[in-house]
Amino acid sequence: MIPVLVLNSGSSSIKYQLLDMADRARLATGVVERIGEAGGAVADHAAGMRQVLAELEGNLDRGALAAVGHRVVHGGDRFRGPTLIDDEVCDAIRDLIPLAPLHNPANLTLIEAARATFPDTPQVAVFDTAFHQTLPAPAHTYAVPAAWRDELGVRRYGFHGTSHQYVSRRAAALLGRRPEEVNVIVLHLGNGASVCAVRDGQSVDTSMGLTPLEGLIMGTRSGDLDPAVPAYITRRTGQSAEEIDRTLNTASGLLALAGSNDMRDVEAAAGKGDEGARLALDAYCYRIRKYIGAYLAALGRVDAVVFTAGVGENSAAVRAGAVAGLEHLGISVSPKRNVAESKEERYISPYWAQTAVLVVPTDEEIEIADQALAAVG
Ligand code: ADP
């Protein structure tokens, strides 16, 4: 047994998985919700941690735990890989709060609760941004004043790094090649969504930016838009920067166009002839297609386009729509393979295709556990 506990905290929830990395098996998984909410039973993340322990009772021998792996959203440009947590690392995560004001405080509170609970177990931070620290300067630079870049840290960081890293490595395995010798475009399409261009196993561009708002159309996020839109809305309505930021993050995307942030609802409504839902689906796929084109240009040679996460793994309609019209660039899906139901890693391109199109279910927890063990040594 090599038990590893993986913790992933939101502002009001803790998701956990206990894995036995000796045979890569899941021993227990669960979620503690409504932390700190009025009327909720769980007062704070420390109480949430006690509930996780209670739920793991019987599965977990505390002394035997090899590592605790923490998903941390923002590592800024300080963290390029999994990092053993000490007081200094906690301070650095605290320093990065301005870049991730909702996520990093929640991650930090849970780290502190877990350190108190497992004082003798190594704790490792695995950052959502770390995989993208290999982006070359032309890809991560925004053309803004030096004071914003140098003093305020305004640049592209990118997110979903753990997923992009795991999925690009699995894609290489599926192609029968080593990760260092393949170029892939990974489409992580979940509630949040992002694209990553991977060259020779390293992230060289990604669609999320300073924050997770940039890039693809998502469940509730707008993705790309003219940066002048917020100022325009303020002038017209008097709304504050905070209000507009909240609207673009939580009341835009599929939700704004189709009335639901769940792609299953959008597809069902589009199927019944709902025009808003049809437009939402078309715009969602069109945005992905534009990014595939952009990253083909960024990479020059692409061995595979890979779909992952809730929508990418399950929606044949989105996969077909995303690559529609790209046949002349060597990218297409086989209609039959694309609609075949499966939970496995698989090819969905035709056998004669120049570029493979793959579906690879993501597994961020196993990647976090692997990286945590690597950091422990
Ligand atoms: P998260 O980003 O929260 O981890 P997931 O990767 O689980 O999200 O993706 C969640 C989304 O996946 C849901 O909002 C839903 O739109 C989509 N999804 C799940 N199953 C299907 C399906 N069968 N068809 C289309 N979309 C699906």
Instruction: Please give the full DSSP string across 169-224, using - where no structure is assigned.
Output: HHHHHHHTS-GGG-EEEEEEESSSEEEEEEETTEEEEES--SSTTSSS--SS---S
347 pLDDT exceeds 90? yes
* Residue 24, ligand 1, Cβ within 6 A: no
* Residue 309, ligand 1, Cβ within 6 A: yes
Beta bridge partners of 18: 5, 28
Q: Tell which atom from ligand 1 comes closest to the C-alpha of 262.
A: 16
Average pLDDT for 143-165: 98
Residue 135 near residue 79, CB atoms below 8 Å: no
| Predicted pLDDT at 81 | 97
Average pLDDT for 305-315: 98
Q: Tell which atom from ligand 1 comes closest to the C-alpha of 219.
A: 14
Dist. CA 208–CA 226, nearest whole Å: 15
Asked whether the whole model's pTM tops 0.85, one would answer yes
User: pLDDT tens for residues 45-77?
Assistant: 888 988 998 898 888 777 789 999 999 999 999
Average pLDDT for 294-321: 98
Residue 190: CB atoms within 10 Å: 18
Please, which pLDDT band fits residue 36 given cuts at 50, 70 and 90?
A: confident
| Predicted pLDDT at 258 | 98
Average pLDDT for 142-163: 98
Dist. CA 291–CA 346, nearest whole Å: 22
Mean pLDDT rounded to a whole number for the chain = 95
62-71, 169-178, 228-237: lowest mean pLDDT where? 62-71
* Catalytic one of 128, 303, 363, 370: 128
Q: Ligand 1: which of 33, 260, 264 to mutate, most ligand atoms within 8 Å of CB?
A: 264
Q: Tell which atom from ligand 1 comes closest to the C-alpha of 193.
A: 2
Side-chain half-sphere exposure of 256, counting CA atoms within 13 A: 16
318 pLDDT exceeds 90? yes
Percent pLDDT > 90 in the chain is 89
> Max alpha carbon distance in the chain (Å)?
61
Q: Tell which atom from ligand 1 comes closest to the C-alpha of 266.
A: 16
User: pLDDT tens for residues 356-374?
Assistant: 999 999 999 999 999 999 9
* Residue 209, ligand 1, Cβ within 6 A: no
CA of 374 to the centre of ligand 1 (A): 30
In terms of pLDDT, which residue wins out, 178 or 12?
178
* Residue 311, ligand 1, Cβ within 6 A: yes
* Residue 194, ligand 1, Cβ within 6 A: no
* Residue 314, ligand 1, Cβ within 6 A: yes
| Predicted pLDDT at 46 | 86
| Predicted pLDDT at 233 | 98
| Predicted pLDDT at 172 | 98
Average pLDDT for 325-345: 96
| Predicted pLDDT at 53 | 87
| Predicted pLDDT at 10 | 79
Average pLDDT for 301-328: 97
39 pLDDT exceeds 90? no
Dist. CA 182–CA 167, nearest whole Å: 12
120 pLDDT exceeds 80? yes
**Range among 35-44, 104-113, 137-146 rated most confident:** 137-146
Dist. CA 153–CA 245, nearest whole Å: 18
Beta strand 356-359 pairing with 304-308: parallel
Is 303 labeled as catalytic in the residue annotation? no
112 pLDDT exceeds 80? yes
3-12, 320-329, 361-370: lowest mean pLDDT where? 3-12
4-18, 39-53, 179-193, 325-339: lowest mean pLDDT where? 39-53
* Residue 190, ligand 1, Cβ within 6 A: yes
User: pLDDT tens for residues 240-287?
Assistant: 999 999 999 999 999 999 999 999 999 999 999 999 999 999 999 999
Q: Ligand 1: which of 255, 314, 363 to mutate, most ligand atoms within 8 Å of CB?
A: 314
Q: Amino acid letter at 244?
A: I
28 pLDDT exceeds 90? yes
CA of 187 to the centre of ligand 1 (A): 13
